Amino acid sequence: MEKLLDILRELHPETDFETETRLVDGGVLSSFDIVMLITRIEEEFDVVIPARDIVPEHFNSAKALYTLIEKISEQDD
């Protein structure tokens, strides 16, 4: 989780990612950010996020995103 927060802060140092729950709907993360983010996550966590999972619900909060990463890495095993 801490690793993820670091990646997020790298993108937007000014945002408090631990509490924010409307990252996409609130316009904090642009589509540009999201793709950059996915590339970073795939590098760091060694997972592949499929297109079907790239929906606002999964990217609105750091927590939701972390849950997604965990789910995907479990499936991979």
Partner 1 sequence: MLFTSWAFLLFLAVLVPVYFLVPKRIQWIVLLLFNAVFVCAAGVLGAVFMVVTIGTVYAASRAIDALYSRQRETLAAIKETHTKEERKQTRLRFEKRRRLVLIACLAVNFGILFVLKYGAMIGRFSAALFGTRAFGQDLALTMGISFYTFSTVGYLLDVYRETIPAEKNPLKLALFTSFFPLLVQGPITRFETVGRALLEPHSFDGQRFLSAGLRIAWGYWKKLIVADRLLVAVKALCARPDVYRGDFILVEMLLYAACLYADFTGGVDITIGVGELLGVRIEENFLRPYFSKSISEYWRRWHITLGEWFKRYVYYPLSVSKPMRALSKGTRKLGAGVSRRVPVYLATLLVWALTGAWHGSRPTFLVWGLLNGAVILISEELKPLYARFHKRSPRLTASAFYRGFTVIRTVLLLSSLRILDCYGTIKEAFSSFFSMFTTWNWGAVFRGGIQSLGLSYTDYAIAGLGVIAMFALSMTQRKGAIRLRIRKRGTVFSVCMLLVLIGTILIFGRYGFGFDASQFIYNRF
* Site residues, partner 1 (CB under 8 A): 13-14, 27, 30-32, 34-36, 38-40, 48-52, 54-55
> Cβ 67 to partner 1, closest distance in Å?
17
Confirm if 1 and 62 have CB atoms less than 8 A apart: yes
Buried b (16+ CB within 10 A) or exposed e, 56-74: eebbbbbebbbebbeebee
Q: Which is nearer to partner 1, 46 or 52 (CB)?
A: 52
> Cβ 51 to partner 1, closest distance in Å?
4
